[in-house]
Amino acid sequence: MSNRTIHEGPRRDVTDAVEMDTASQSMSDNLVNGLKVWVDVGLKLGKQIEEQKAKADAAAIKLQRNTPVDYTLSQYGTFPSSGPLILNIGTPDLGTYWEVESVIVGGTEINVTAAGKAGLYVTAVPTTAGLGLSNCVDIAASLPNAGFYGRRDIVVTAQENLVVAIFSGTVGQGYIASASVTVLNVAAAQGNDVVSI
C-alpha cells in the first residue's frame, strides 16, 4: 500500500501553480503596457496641442503687430508777427510709418474765415529750414481746405515730420491742422512678391 492518504487527492504537478501565476503575470503586463501606450498617446497629443497653441499665439501676435491702426492728429497755433506759422502735426514712432489719408487746415472752425495759403510738407526738419518745394506734397490756395489722399500718396517715415505751413495769415489768429493717418509697422511691408508677365 501507498503512504498516500485519501484526503490528499491526486498528486499535482508542481508547474500548475507556476502556469497560473505566469498567466496572471501576462495579463498584468498587458494591462500595464496598454496603460503605458495610452499615457504615451495622451502625452503626444498634449504636446501637439501645446505646439499648435504656441503657433496660433505667435500668429495672433504677428497679426496684431502687422495690423494697420487709424490715427488722427491735430495741431493748433497762433499766426506770428513775422514768418509763416509752422504746425508740426507729428512723426511716426520708430519701426512704423504713416500713410496720410486726409489733412484739413484753416481757422478754428469751418465757418471761420482764415486768411492765407497753406503748404503740406514731409520733412526731416520741422522748421522754416525744412520747407521748400522739394518737401511740399500738397498746397491749399485758400482756407479752410481739406485734402484727401489715396494709399501711399503721402508716406511719412520715422525720420520725417508731417508739417503744415501757413503763409500770409492774420497775425494773432488761431489756425488748426488735422490729419488722419494709417500707422503701419515697417516689418509688415517687408515682403517681396514677384509678378511675372
Flag whether 192 is in a domain: no
For residue 41, the model assigns a pLDDT of: 76
For residue 90, the model assigns a pLDDT of: 96
Flag whether 46 is in a domain: yes
For residue 66, the model assigns a pLDDT of: 72
Contact indicator for 67, 157 with CB cutoff of 8 Å:
no
Number of separate domains in the chain: 2
Q: How far apart are CA 139 and CA 77, in angstroms?
A: 18
Contact indicator for 115, 143 with CB cutoff of 8 Å:
yes
For residue 22, the model assigns a pLDDT of: 52
For residue 153, the model assigns a pLDDT of: 94
Beta-bridged to residue 194, according to DSSP, are none
For residue 171, the model assigns a pLDDT of: 96
Task: Note whether 85 and 167 are same-domain residues.
Answer: yes
In one-letter notation, the amino acid at residue 60 is A
Q: Which of 91, 94, 85 is nearest to 174 (CA)?
A: 85
For residue 6, the model assigns a pLDDT of: 54
Q: How far apart are CA 140 and CA 175, in angstroms?
A: 14
Flag whether 194 is in a domain: no
Q: How far apart are CA 143 and CA 150, in angstroms?
A: 22
Low-confidence ranges of the chain (pLDDT < 50): 18
Contact indicator for 57, 130 with CB cutoff of 8 Å:
no
Give the residue numbers spanning the domain of 41: 1-67
Q: How far apart are CA 52 and CA 60, in angstroms?
A: 12
Question: What ranges make up the beta strands (E) of the chain?
Answer: 69-78, 85-90, 96-106, 117-123, 136-140, 145-148, 155-156, 161-167, 174-185
Q: At which of 67, 96, 122 does a domain end?
A: 67
CATH of the domain at 172: 2.60.120.1330
Contact indicator for 168, 116 with CB cutoff of 8 Å:
yes
Q: Which residues touch 2 (CB under 8 Å, ≥6 apart)?
A: none
For residue 56, the model assigns a pLDDT of: 78
For residue 45, the model assigns a pLDDT of: 79
